[in-house]
Amino acid sequence: MPSITQVEELSVAERDAKILRYLSLPADNEPSPSKDPIGFLKQYISILPPSLLQLCFSDVLTPLERSKIPAIRNRRLDYHSSAPAQLSFPVARNKWVTLWDEVAPAGAVLREDWRDQAKEGRRDEETWAESNFLAGKTLAGERNRLGKLLGGYEEERVGEETRAQRGERLREYRKEEGVLKREKELEGSDEEEEEMDDQDVVGGERGWNSGDNEQLRRVFERVLKERLIDGLLENFDYDAVDWDSRWDKQSRDDEERWFDEDDED
């Protein structure tokens, strides 16, 4: 019965044989897929299928180690340039909270873009009323009026929930800082809540203006991009990008700016 070490060596040998056979390369090809995976991928990654790349290299090279391969870094850059939803600022800030905490000043509370969410909810309610709830039973005008009514309720509900959540976060921060002067004011009139809506960031005793908000956003997005490309972004599916040849449509300007293959070593 073979030992565990022998089984592992055989597994590596089988992987090498599989990938070399696919490329019609000799068994003693240099660089070797197992002994020098980075050197091997630098030469052949563009002509290998995702399934074979994942099978042979996902558990061999970490995302950080893969960043030494220019083609993989270019794929990550092109993926980022495609503006995927998970890298959009609102989504990314909530997913990579630790990264946001590193960038944002202590206690900064970023304004939620709740109006867009409320409008989207309103459209959904109107569509539901017009196409499903009363379809075929009432006049089109009645369906339209009901849709607008439900949509208005939904937009108002989202706004109220978001204002309440934002107010709670602000109160928690101020309690920690021992600043309770305006506690009652935060629970006051709708007019005062609307003034809060117009603030981008609130931290400590001073309000962060729109310029501060935009600067925080730019810094966060820049750091997110750098960590993505360097293989340092936690909880990110690098396999889905690194081994996918559709991200080989490289932007030459970005490539020259970000990567200089001569500096790899």
Phi/psi for 183 (5° steps) reads -60, -45
Q: Is residue 72 part of a domain?
A: yes
What is the C-alpha end-to-end distance of the chain, expressed in Å? 43
Indicate the residue among 148, 167, 198 that finishes a domain: 198
Q: Which residues of the chain have pLDDT under 50?
A: 1-10, 114, 134-135, 137-138, 179-181, 183, 189, 191-208, 251-254
Q: Is residue 107 part of a domain?
A: no
Q: Is residue 23 part of a domain?
A: yes
d(CA 233, CA 229): 8
Predicted confidence at residue 200, as pLDDT, reads 42
Q: What is the pLDDT of residues 33-66, one digit of tens each?
A: 999 999 999 999 999 999 999 999 999 999 999 9
Predicted confidence at residue 198, as pLDDT, reads 44
Predicted confidence at residue 104, as pLDDT, reads 82
Q: Are residues 69 and 142 in the same domain?
A: no
Q: Are residues 18 and 59 in the same domain?
A: yes
Q: What is the pLDDT of residues 209-242, one digit of tens each?
A: 555 778 889 999 999 999 999 999 999 999 999 9
Q: Are residues 51 and 123 in the same domain?
A: no
Q: How many domains does the chain have?
A: 2
Order across the sheet with 206-208: list the strands: 109-110, 201-203, 206-208
Q: Is residue 32 part of a domain?
A: yes
d(CA 192, CA 202): 14
H-helix segments, the chain: 4-22, 37-44, 50-57, 63-66, 70-81, 89-95, 97-103, 114-128, 140-177, 183-186, 190-197, 210-230, 239-242, 252-258
Q: Is residue 52 part of a domain?
A: yes
Predicted confidence at residue 180, as pLDDT, reads 46
Q: Are residues 126 and 192 in the same domain?
A: yes
Predicted confidence at residue 119, as pLDDT, reads 59
Predicted confidence at residue 7, as pLDDT, reads 33
Domain range enclosing 133: 112-198
122 three-state secondary structure? helix
